[in-house]
Structure 1
Amino acid sequence: MNITAKYCKNCDQILHADKNHCASCYSKELKTKELNGSGEVYSYTKIHAAPKDYADIAPYYIVLVDLNEGLRITGRYTGQSVEIDQKVQVEAVNKNAYIFKPVEE
C-alpha cells in the first residue's frame, strides 16, 4: 500500500506528510511524494497495558520502521512476533496510524 509523504525540492529530504517546512534546510518548497510503504523494523515494543480504545487487541506491537525511501515512521504491527531488521509493509492507515504486516520472503 502506498503512503503519502513530502520531499524538499531544495535538498531532497523526505519528510512526514504533515510537515510545512524542511527540517534540514528550512525550505518551504515541499512537494507530495508517494512511498511504497515497505521497509525494515528498526525497533519495537510490546504493549500489554493498552489504552481503553485498544484494550481489546492487547497485547500488540508498536514498531519503528525505516522505509526503503529513507523515512522512519511508527505504526502498529499485526504479526504474532517481530524482530529487528524484519521486512514489513503498510497494509492500512487507520485514524492516521500506520498498520504494518510482516512480509513473507
Structure 2
Amino acid sequence: MEIPRHWRLKKQRYSLQGEICPHCEGKIFPPRDVCPHCGNDARTTFTFSGRGKVYSFTHVTEAPAGFEETAPYTVALVQLEEGPVVTAQLTDVEADEVEIGMPVEMVTRKIRSDGNERGIIIYGYKFRPVLDGAR
C-alpha cells in the first residue's frame, strides 16, 4: 500500500474514527459516506470509544504475505460498545486465554513493516483484554 493511502486512513486506524448518520443515528465503521442502515448521506465524524467484546475469533498459524513475522496470532471479530463489528488482531493475550464475550479495548500497535530496513512501519488498531480496574 502506498504512503498517501496510509495518511488518509490515519484517523481511522489510530483512533477508530468513523461516522454517524445524522438521519438515523447509525454508527458506521469503517467510514463510507452513505449510511448502510438508511441509505442517506452520513459524513458526520464520530470517534468510537475503543471498547467492546470478542464476538468470535480464530487463531492464524500460517500468516498471509507481509504478516509472517507476527504469526501465530489471534484475529477476532470485536463488537464495539456502539454497535459495529470490526476485525482486528488481538494482542497481549495468549491464544488459550481468548474467549467469546471477553471485554477488550483498542490499542495502537505495529501491524507490519514492508520488509526492508528503509521501508515504512505500519501502525494501526489492535485489541487487548481490558486491564483490571479499567472498566
Is TM (by shorter chain) over 0.5? yes
Q: How does 1:46-65 map to 2 (within 5 A)?
A: 46-65=59-78
The answer as to whether partners of 2:106 and 2:126 remain within 8 angstroms in 1 is yes
Task: Flag the structure with larger Rg.
Answer: 2
- Give structure 2 stretches of 5+ with no counterpart: 1-13, 112-121
Aligned equivalents of 1:74, 1:89: Cα separation in 2: 13
- The one-letter code of the counterpart of 1:89 is E
Percentage of pairs with the same residue: 30
Matched, 1:76 2:92: no
SS at match of 2:66: helix
Residue-by-residue CA offset, 1:2-41 (whole Å, 9 max, x unaligned)? 4211010000011114302011111014310111101000
> Which structure 1 segments of 5+ residues have no match?
none
> Which stretches of structure 1, 4 residues or longer, exceed 6 Å deviation after superposition?
none
Instruction: Tell me which of the two structures has the higher relative contact order, counting C-alpha pairs closer than 8 angstroms and 6 or more residues apart.
Output: 1
**Root-mean-square deviation (CA), in Å?**
1.9
Instruction: Give the CA deviation at 1:100.
Output: 0.8
Determine which of 83, 99, 105 is the counterpart of 2:126.
99
Distance 1:50 1:69 in 2: 30
Count of residue pairs the alignment pairs up: 105
CA contact (8 A) 1:76 1:97 kept: no
Cα separation, partners in 2 of 1:29 and 1:66, compared to 1, 3 Å:
closer
Question: Counterparts of 1:1-105 in structure 2 under 5 Å?
Answer: 2-78=15-91, 79-81=93-95, 82-92=98-108, 94=111, 95=122, 97-105=124-132
Secondary structure at the aligned position of 2:23 is classed as: coil
Structure 1 or 2: more strand by fraction: 1
